[in-house]
Structure 1
Amino acid sequence: MTRRYDVVVAGAGMAGVLTALGLAGHGVRVLLVEPHGVGAGQSGQSHGYLHRGYAYGRTEPLLPPLLGRARVHWDTLLRDTPPVTSNSVVSFSDPGAARGATEFWRSCGLPVSAVEAPDWLGGGFASCFRSEEATHDFGPVLRHLGTRIASCGVDLNAGTLTGFSEEPGSVYCEFERPDGTGLTVRSRAVVVAAGAGTPGILARSGLPPVVRCRKSFVLVLRGDLPVISAVFPASTEHGLFLASRTGHESGTTWLVSDFQSFDSAWGASGQLPGWWAHRILLTLRRIISPERLAGVATVSGYAAVKSGLVPSSGTVSHGLGHDFLGGRAIVASPSKLTLAPLAAERAMRSVARILKFPFDGAAWDPVPAGTARGAEGIRPGEKWETGLDAVKDPDLASGPPDIAELSRLFSR
């Protein structure tokens, strides 16, 4: 029997969960479909920066005002939830890049505060700034929002959106359950918030592959490490994001990602994670003091496939959302977790137009205090898409293996 709902939301990351909760608050009958569990994807495993724009520059002029709008929502949602770190250090090795960045920050209304280089930072940096960006462990936050899902009337079903067809006034959505059986749901609208987890659906949306299928990587280091968050923006060198997690039995966890993403529309070479990890390790050796890196006990990582922002595009490529299928299907693609509330609000606005109910903006109740207490960060089981024998036990203090081939590939 075909089930009936007002709206189907595919994907239980931050954008999907906020969309489902917001619509349920307007009395909408919502089915939320997720193959692995609330927050099991990139939202729950992100580095957790609530960006304000410090990591970007003149090539992305629309980002700071968008991030500022999103911050209003986060200030409410996380009002009672302490961050892992309350600010970040932004460091530059190039004085010219530092001057250009500070001019851009001031032009965007971002506070500019120079600070002394912290003791964990390696040599060679011309200047450091305090960014006032917080980092959070969003895994516990999403797990709490999952309990709200269960109590506010949203149906949560395990499955993957595999296809849909348009009928007069409705959409028939097809899902595949984890056991391989199918499910058909009739709804008045569908919101695709599955990142790049539904490539066939996204291909029908009309979005170009560079927007809908991007792959990046996150390196996970654990051991006797300080709790820090840092951004190393660079236009001619390799820039990094570094954010801590606490509470794991082996000590502090560092999540390290960079500014690179790769077109994954046609898959990726199995060697790509290894090349990327070597590059990250080489950069860490240059920017973090050897004494700190000597505290690293284990190294692992994972791939993140996502849709969203086109790098150096000068704009958010599709305005946080994209309607298709006669306006009854909406892609909610925030590109960055920070922008998830705006993507959810954009999706809700489209649904309100279809269902014809008044909508004057989204609002969500705060996550209660204590939600993140005892968080373990990224849990055991991180894995690469391929073996990484060369970096299983790297000597970070003396440097990773030679990566001349990696440098050649990344310079293309």
Structure 2
Amino acid sequence: MTGLPTGDGTGERVHWPGVVVVGAGVTGLLVTERLRRRGVPVLLVEQSRLGAGQTGHCHGYLHRGYIYRGITAPQRQALTRCADWWDERLARAGGDAVVGERSVVGFTGAAEREETLAAWKTLGMPWEDIGAPGLEGTAGTFAVPETTVSPRAAMRVVAGVAASTPTVHGRATAVWPSGRSMRAVDVLTGEGTVTITAPAYVLAAGLGTPDLLGPWARTLGIRTRLSYMLVCRTGRDLPHAFCLPADSAQGLFVASRPLGPDRVYLMSTFVSFWASTEDADARRSWLGAASRVLATHLPGLWEDPEARWGVYPARKVEVDAPGGGLPEGGVFDLGWDNAVTVLPGKLVLAPMYADRALERLARLTGLDRLRGPSLRGASLPGWPLPGPGPLLAPHGPGDSPWAAEDWEMTPLFTRTELFDHPEPYHPVPAPPTRKETHRWSA
């Protein structure tokens, strides 16, 4: 296919007998889990840990359509099916993935409230009129059945099989097209470039997708959107999850995580920038808008001298579609007969995108013909695969192949320190790394 970057043909070459999945975010992990359960050998390509990148900095809302204006019945049904899928599997597994089973939606104006309530009634969406301690300046607050989860804990529950999947640790840098097929992908590892060939591919590279696809990504309208996430640790009693779906400058989107006797609240506005990298002006502008919203709607928290604040960039790869494109993401056909590209969407929609990717790949390649015995303990030419163990973490007690959520790596300061000095003087520290003794693990 013209316009796509191609590999340079140098470095080590390896053939994989099944499907190569590029990216171990939520969608890549669910694709991996589904392929493994069908008996198809999977090789993951991931430059960080499982669930890092866009997955690691999301709120964790399992949306059911309550915050979207003009949502259609089919869109509502798609969100509901996916939310039910998550709820069922998380309930079956137990554990600490679920943060809260209800969320609060508030409205800043009476007209907006009545318009939205009418839409909820038309679509048969349940809600309850309630009070919301600590949330001020609204024209009504309502409890709705939207679950919030810890993305890391949820992924460990629903896609834990990925932790025993052979993985090459590195960044996919280029694809090799050949007519109507994808014949290879280049992966830059700590020891050089490896060119991997396979019968089929799923490109779920998340934030790496624009660079991986190059000019073709721009043709499809695939772009990177930059926003920010505030992190606030407090002992104040606030709703565990709430949203003010106002315009971009006045809206507020909040989810929380328990942390000892306190809670950590992850807060974002609807202000964003079409940019792949951040700068001081973007951060200053975003924090200025956020400070006005917080002072208006959470004045007690805003004035709390004991609260501690942090901020990190939250980049998202999306399709630049009119109206934002709900549902976002999805499976893209690049014209290849053995590969699909999956863009990130909302966390709740990942099961639907994983299913679509497999359906498309099955039609193209006939996945059943790729079934084979487990490759655990097997080897490829020049590449011994060790036995099961952690993927990217040191082999010590308590180590995990799963990425920390971004808020867990964000330093916290007083409100004055953060908002009066918005330049990124305090970068988010990178996850701990170690020297790899090999590039493969299982």
Compared CA separation, residues 297 and 59, structure 1 to 2 (3 A): same
Query: Which residue matches 1:43?
Result: 55
Q: CA-atom RMSD, angstroms?
A: 3.1
Give the superposition deviation at 1:94: 0.2
Please give the per-residue CA displacement for 1:296-339, whole angstroms capped at 9, x wherever unaligned.
Answer: 53211211222235476274477611011424332212421111
1:148 aligned to 2:158? no
Decide which of 43, 62, 69 is 1:57's aligned counterpart.
69
- After superposition, residues 212-361 of structure 1 pair within 5 angstroms as 212-226=223-237, 228-235=240-247, 237-247=249-259, 251-264=262-275, 267-290=277-300, 293-294=303-304, 296-308=306-318, 310=320, 313=323, 315-316=325-326, 320-357=330-367
Decide which of 170, 176, 181 is 1:159's aligned counterpart.
170
Decide which of 86, 92, 116 is 1:101's aligned counterpart.
116
Residue type at the aligned position of 2:230: L
Residue type at the aligned position of 2:186: E
Q: Report SS of the residue matched to 2:47.
A: coil
Contact 2:89 / 2:158 at 8 angstroms: preserved in 1?
Answer: no
Give the superposition deviation at 1:12: 0.8
Q: Aligned residues, how many?
A: 372
Q: Report SS of the residue matched to 1:285.
A: helix
Is the deviation greater in 65-74 or in 10-19?
65-74
Is the deviation greater in 12-21 or in 196-205?
196-205
Between the aligned partners of 1:402 and 1:224, the Cα distance in structure 2 is 24
Contact 1:60 / 1:312 at 8 angstroms: preserved in 2?
Answer: no
Query: Which residue matches 1:7?
Result: 19
Contact 1:196 / 1:305 at 8 angstroms: preserved in 2?
Answer: yes
Query: Which residue matches 2:384?
Result: none
Q: Which stretches in structure 1 are left out of the alignment for 5+ residues?
A: 360-374, 384-390, 404-412
Compared CA separation, residues 87 and 401, structure 1 to 2 (3 A): same
Contact 1:310 / 1:316 at 8 angstroms: preserved in 2?
Answer: no
- After superposition, residues 113-124 of structure 1 pair within 5 angstroms as 113-115=128-130, 117-122=131-136, 124=137
Is the deviation greater in 89-98 or in 322-331?
322-331
- After superposition, residues 60-75 of structure 1 pair within 5 angstroms as 63-75=75-87
Between the aligned partners of 1:8 and 1:376, the Cα distance in structure 2 is 24
Give the superposition deviation at 1:71: 1.7
Residue type at the aligned position of 1:382: T
Is the deviation greater in 339-348 or in 190-199?
190-199
Between the aligned partners of 2:242 and 2:113, the Cα distance in structure 1 is 15
Contact 1:13 / 1:39 at 8 angstroms: preserved in 2?
Answer: yes
Residue type at the aligned position of 1:394: R
Q: Which stretches in structure 2 are left out of the alignment for 5+ residues?
A: 1-12, 370-402, 423-442
1:92 aligned to 2:102? no
Query: Which residue matches 1:408?
Result: none
Contact 1:84 / 1:134 at 8 angstroms: preserved in 2?
Answer: yes
Query: Which residue matches 1:130?
Result: 143
Decide which of 197, 206, 230 is 1:186's aligned counterpart.
197
Query: Which residue matches 2:44?
Result: 32
Residue type at the aligned position of 1:320: G
Between the aligned partners of 2:330 and 2:35, the Cα distance in structure 1 is 17
Compared CA separation, residues 258 and 62, structure 1 to 2 (3 A): farther
Compared CA separation, residues 252 and 312, structure 1 to 2 (3 A): farther
TM-score (norm 1): 0.80
Contact 1:248 / 1:376 at 8 angstroms: preserved in 2?
Answer: no
Contact 1:220 / 1:301 at 8 angstroms: preserved in 2?
Answer: yes
Please give the per-residue CA displacement for 1:124-175, whole angstroms capped at 9, x wherever unaligned.
Answer: 2111111211111111233455642234xx3122111111113476521111
Query: Which residue matches 2:432?
Result: none
Give the superposition deviation at 1:358: 6.8
Contact 1:106 / 1:112 at 8 angstroms: preserved in 2?
Answer: no
TM-score (norm 2): 0.75
Between the aligned partners of 1:193 and 1:357, the Cα distance in structure 2 is 18
State the percentage of identical aligned residues. 28
Q: Report SS of the residue matched to 1:71.
A: helix
Query: Which residue matches 1:409?
Result: none
Q: Report SS of the residue matched to 1:42.
A: helix
Between the aligned partners of 1:301 and 1:210, the Cα distance in structure 2 is 28
Decide which of 182, 194, 198 is 2:209's aligned counterpart.
198
Q: Report SS of the residue matched to 1:78.
A: helix
Compared CA separation, residues 283 and 338, structure 1 to 2 (3 A): same
Between the aligned partners of 1:10 and 1:65, the Cα distance in structure 2 is 29
Q: Report SS of the residue matched to 2:271.
A: coil
Q: Report SS of the residue matched to 1:213.
A: strand
Q: Report SS of the residue matched to 2:99.
A: coil
1:382 aligned to 2:423? no
Give the superposition deviation at 1:39: 1.1
Q: Report SS of the residue matched to 2:213.
A: helix
Compared CA separation, residues 209 and 222, structure 1 to 2 (3 A): farther
Please give the per-residue CA displacement for 1:189-241, whole angstroms capped at 9, x wherever unaligned.
Answer: 22121222232223354555753322221111113233621010113751111
Compared CA separation, residues 188 and 248, structure 1 to 2 (3 A): farther
Compared CA separation, residues 129 and 211, structure 1 to 2 (3 A): farther
Contact 2:255 / 2:266 at 8 angstroms: preserved in 1?
Answer: yes
Between the aligned partners of 2:297 and 2:321, the Cα distance in structure 1 is 24
